[in-house]
Amino acid sequence: MPGVVIKIIAKVGGAIVADEPLVIVEAMKMENIISAKENGLVEDIIVKVGEVVSKGQVLLVCSKIINNGRPTIKYEKTDHNNKRNDLLKLVKRKQYLLDDARPDAILKRKNRNQNSARENVDLLCDKNSFKEYGGFAIAAQRSRRSEMDLIKNTPADGLITGIASINKKLFGELPQQCCVMVYDFTVLAGTQGLFNHAKMDRMLHIAEKNKLPIILFAEGGGGRPGDVDMQVVAGLHVNTFFNYAKLAAVVPRICIVSGYCFAGNAALAGTSDVIIATENTSIGMGGPAMVEGGGLGKYHPKEIGPAAIQVKNGVIDILVKNENEAIIIAKQYLSYFQGKIKKWEGADQNELNNIVPENRKRVFDVRKIISTLADRNSVLELKKEFGKSIVTAFIRIEGKPLGLIANDAAEMGGAITSDSADKAAQFMQLCSDFTIPILSLVDTPGIMVGPEAEKTGTVKHAAKLFTVGAKLKVPIWAIVLRRGYGLGAMAMTGGSFHATEFIVSWPTGEFGAMGLEGAVKLGYRKELEAIENPAERKKLYNKLLAESYRRGGAINMASFLEIDNVIEPAESRGWIVSGLDSFQ
């Protein structure tokens, strides 16, 4: 191509080393090095510096030297420890991203018994796998603060973002890439600045495009009024919250909260699929300043949405002691969406045969059944303190993930309440969205009734179980532990016993369109009222009730094909494994 000669390195009579520069020609603002492909000597130089040369023009006349294939002049060895100026500049700039660059801020963090944002990244991600995006961003305040001030005090604009592998040891060499976003409370109190919104939008786009799970550490406040480099009135046009919410049912979104989480950060947390929070957490849609500004009084941050309250009302899914434990739980939660693990252990299934008492009215520990049925150490319960009459949990059977719902007779007799219905429906939808099959352990007298129950909107809340169940994209397998009564039992099985892939019962199972005692009293009211003698009336009642128990017994139920089989409790795991094999 044509160009201008800007430098001639060769000298007449000088030796040529293959591929070493001889002439430099500039074209289109780029310097092109002209060199020979073989060793030799320069005999003549045809061009001069500043001369315009054209394609094919001779620049030098050289003669070839053959010296046993060895070059006349040896290359100089490169000292890789002697970094170039541009690399030194990069290394220096990167130092400001490290915790060591802000010892005072990090010390305050340690005094609160909390990790730094970068420590959390290191604990979460597989070793050396985190690739940071947008680390050199600083707060959009160049018009009011010096650049060096911003570099030192607003690293990454308060939000660390990147992509990393997580749980690689658990799954072997398969890549388990995730998007990681960590708000840094030590930078402007974790507020959401102009550039960290842009960084988050970038990560959300990548997550959506590549179907990458997201782990978000949401700690801090909402919008940052101090970012003045761009003319913005209210900033309500930002797309971050829309983009994050849009990923519901597209990728798993895990949120970890430690400390204060208000306004924008709380909105992101609330939109997530799961919130794992530490005991020192407060979560609220507005912090103290916003509350006071609204004329609602002055409060300490700890008084606004403390963890003790938010775990009981269902905002917090899993409560832990500290960030280290939160990260362990987050990795476990993520693993259920990453697939099957190879190494697992199971308990002696014969233990299941004696957990449900022969006394049909005696309460038992359903969690003992769950832990025995599942692989060892594979149970992760969600919303334990909310909607307590239904247990929701992820488990594994032979290494394969399942979602589990189970009635707990120790809470409201196992009756389905508004809260427990919401909790179970939300969990079933999550499993369906991410192709995780559902196991239902049924032991319920039905949906909660009565004036107090109806004050909670039970009609609409309980109906969610039918709506979600009717549209499940995954199989639901049901095992009746004891009571399978009425609409509640149907709601626990996707809307109908035959909406399941299989429904089996333990020998303790008993069934009816409603509680059998109530059914007898209601169905035989006239006959019972016609008997004036109380002893005779009770005798008839007991006879009718015994017949109802016989008719509603598990074996009789199976004989009418309303359930698929009656099994020994120890056989339950085998049925589930068979279902998993069919599903896979």
Query: If you count DSSP H runs as helices and E runs as strands, how many of each does the chain have, helices first?
Result: 21, 24
Alpha-carbon span 408 to 131, nearest angstrom: 44
Q: What pLDDT does residue 543 have? A: 79
CATH number at residue 23: 2.40.50.100
Geometric angle at alpha carbon 392, from 387 and 397, rounded to 5°: 165
* Amino acid identity, position 410: A
Alpha-carbon span 480 to 528, nearest angstrom: 32
* The token pair that represents 246 in the structure block: 């849009």
Q: What pLDDT does residue 217 have? A: 98
108 & 242 share domain: yes
236 & 190 share domain: yes
553-581 per-residue burial string, b: 16 or more CB within 10 A, e: under 16: bbeebbeeeebbebbebebbbebbeebbe
Domain boundary among 43, 64, 85: 64
CATH number at residue 434: 3.90.226.10
**Exposed (0-12), middle (13-18) or buried (19+): which is 493, by Cβ within 10 Å?**
buried
CA distances from 412 to 360, 388, 408, 453 (A): 16, 8, 8, 11
Q: What is the total count of domains within the chain?
A: 3
Bridge partner list, 406: 391, 441
Alpha-carbon span 192 to 223, nearest angstrom: 5
3-state secondary structure of 438: strand
Per-residue pLDDT in tens (0 to 9) along the chain, 584 residues: 889 999 999 888 888 888 888 899 999 889 999 888 888 888 898 999 999 999 889 998 988 765 555 444 444 555 667 778 999 999 999 999 999 999 999 999 999 999 999 999 999 999 999 999 999 999 999 999 999 999 999 999 999 999 999 999 888 766 679 999 999 999 999 999 999 999 999 999 999 999 999 999 999 998 888 888 887 878 888 899 999 999 999 999 999 999 999 999 999 999 999 999 999 999 999 988 889 888 999 999 999 999 999 999 999 999 999 999 999 999 999 999 999 998 999 999 999 999 999 998 899 999 999 999 999 999 999 999 999 999 999 999 999 999 999 999 999 999 999 999 999 999 999 999 999 999 999 999 999 999 999 999 999 999 999 999 999 999 999 999 999 999 999 999 999 999 999 999 999 999 987 766 776 777 778 887 788 888 878 887 777 777 777 788 999 999 999 999 999 999 999 999 999 999 86
Report pLDDT digits (tens) over 410-430: 999 999 999 999 999 999 999
37 & 134 share domain: no
Alpha-carbon span 517 to 445, nearest angstrom: 11
> Which residues have C-beta within 8 Å of that of residue 128, sequence separation ≥ 6?
none
272 & 416 share domain: no
Domain boundary among 44, 64, 84: 64
Alpha-carbon span 555 to 49, nearest angstrom: 102
364 & 458 share domain: yes
Alpha-carbon span 499 to 189, nearest angstrom: 50
416 & 319 share domain: no
Alpha-carbon span 577 to 439, nearest angstrom: 11
Q: What pLDDT does residue 175 have? A: 62
Asked if residue 516 belongs to a domain, the reply is no
Q: Are strands 502-505 and 565-566 parallel, antiparallel or unpaired?
A: parallel
Q: In 88-213, which ranges are E strands?
A: 131-133, 159-165, 177-183
User: What is the C-alpha end-to-end distance of the chain, expressed in Å?
Assistant: 60
156 & 201 share domain: yes
Asked if residue 517 belongs to a domain, the reply is no
Which residue is associated with the tokens 């053959």? 66
Asked if residue 83 belongs to a domain, the reply is no
Run of H or E residues at 254: strand 253-257
Alpha-carbon span 6 to 496, nearest angstrom: 84
369 & 403 share domain: yes
Asked if residue 529 belongs to a domain, the reply is no
Asked if residue 545 belongs to a domain, the reply is no
Alpha-carbon span 374 to 545, nearest angstrom: 36
Asked if residue 399 belongs to a domain, the reply is yes
140 & 227 share domain: yes
* Torsions phi, psi for 206 (to 5 deg): -65, -40
Please write down the HEC assignment for all residues of 310-332: HCCCCCCCEEECCHHHHHHHHHH
Alpha-carbon span 574 to 567, nearest angstrom: 11
Question: What are the CB-based long-range contacts (under 8 Å, 24+) for 358-367?
Answer: 358/508, 360/482, 360/508, 360/510, 363/409, 363/410, 364/409, 365/410, 366/391, 366/406, 366/407, 366/408, 366/409, 366/410, 366/441, 366/443, 366/481, 367/391, 367/408
Domain boundary among 64, 89, 110: 64
Asked if residue 72 belongs to a domain, the reply is no
How far, rounded to the nearest angstrom, does the alpha carbon of residue 382 sit from its chain's CA centroid?
Answer: 13
CB count in 10 Å sphere of residue 212: 19
Q: What pLDDT does residue 174 have? A: 63
Q: What pLDDT does residue 187 have? A: 96
Determine the structural domain holding residue 182 and report its residue range: 102-336
Bridge partner list, 396: 401
Alpha-carbon span 276 to 272, nearest angstrom: 10
Bridge partner list, 217: 182, 256
* The token pair that represents 491 in the structure block: 């709601």
Closest Cα to residue 288, out of 217, 216, 222? Answer: 222
438 & 483 share domain: yes
**Exposed (0-12), middle (13-18) or buried (19+): which is 496, by Cβ within 10 Å?**
middle
Which residue is associated with the tokens 């290359």? 75
DSSP string, 461-521: HHHHHHHHHHT-SS-EEEEEEEEEEHHHHHHTTTTSGGGSSEEEE-TT-EEESS-HHHHHH
52 & 142 share domain: no
Rg of the chain's alpha carbons, rounded to an integer?
A: 35
Q: What pLDDT does residue 421 have? A: 98
Asked if residue 311 belongs to a domain, the reply is yes
* The token pair that represents 116 in the structure block: 């730094």
CA distances from 494 to 18, 503, 554 (A): 76, 11, 20
Whole-prediction pTM value? 0.88
126 & 228 share domain: yes
